[in-house]
Amino acid sequence: MKDLMPVNGQFAMPVLSYDNLGDVISKETLSFHHGKHLKAYVDNLNKLLPESGLENLPLSEVIRKAEGGMFNNAGQVLNHAMYFEQFSNSPKPMSAKFASLLERDFGSVEAFKKEFEQKGTTLFGSGWVWLSANAGGKLVITQQKNAENPVTMGLTPLLTFDVWEHAYYLDYQNRRADHLAALWQIVDWAIVESRLC
């Protein structure tokens, strides 16, 4: 799975591998979401880490051990690192092997996407909808509030859509469902599938 390692007890700002995502997420939203929201989470986490006893752990371990503000900022750093990493303006398609796993656990790829969108749309308030693998390898969808990440439930996170309003309000206003439906266009399945180990 995706994890981040600290250098000298501090986490670096995750770098975007693209400068636009076409019409799906505007440059303005990208600029605020990555450059302001994520930057604040990274800065806040790095302020809390020194002498916390958690300053040399991988980010997923910080999330498992932290509470309060440390948990919220650490969770949001990993959540956003995975979120921004999984998108591309020239995304790789889903492999037949991964499609067969979705068919096995959700009935069809389309049924999976419908359930994922529905769970993102119906998550009350701020949070994230995730596709993860459980310890037995079964793929599961979870709704997680605020800064939560499936690593705290022993799951391996693979794909996530951010349903905090800051992720879509400039482009879609209150139309969260339309935003989530559009995101499939930019999901790079090679990156998602690489997290399944």
CB nearer to Mn ion: pick between 112 and 168: 168
CB nearer to Mn ion: pick between 41 and 112: 41
CB of 167 to Mn ion, least distance (A): 5
Size of the site for Mn ion (CB under 5 A): 3
User: What are the tokens at 81?
Assistant: 């690192």
CB nearer to Mn ion: pick between 76 and 102: 76
Among 87, 65, 80, 64, which Cα is nearest to 11's?
80
**161 in contact with Mn ion (CB under 5 A):** no
CA–CA separation, 137 vs 20, rounded Å?
34
Supply the DSSP symbol for 161. E
CB-based contacts of 22, cutoff 8 Å, min separation 6: 89, 185, 186
CB-based contacts of 136, cutoff 8 Å, min separation 6: none
Region near Mn ion per CB under 5 A, out of 19-27, 140-148, 162-170, 174-182: 162-170
Three-class DSSP category at 75: helix
Region near Mn ion per CB under 5 A, out of 63-71, 145-153, 166-174, 181-189: 166-174
CB of 166 to Mn ion, least distance (A): 5
**162 in contact with Mn ion (CB under 5 A):** yes
Q: Among positive and negative, which fits the CA dihedral 130, 120, 66, 35?
A: positive
Supply the DSSP symbol for 162. E
CB of 159 to Mn ion, least distance (A): 15
- The residue type found at 55 is E
CB nearer to Mn ion: pick between 94 and 179: 179
**188 in contact with Mn ion (CB under 5 A):** no
Residue nearest Mn ion, Cβ-based: 162
CB of 126 to Mn ion, least distance (A): 9
- Residue 106 Cα to chain centre, angstroms: 21
**164 in contact with Mn ion (CB under 5 A):** yes
Residues that bind Mn ion (CB under 5 A): 162, 164, 167
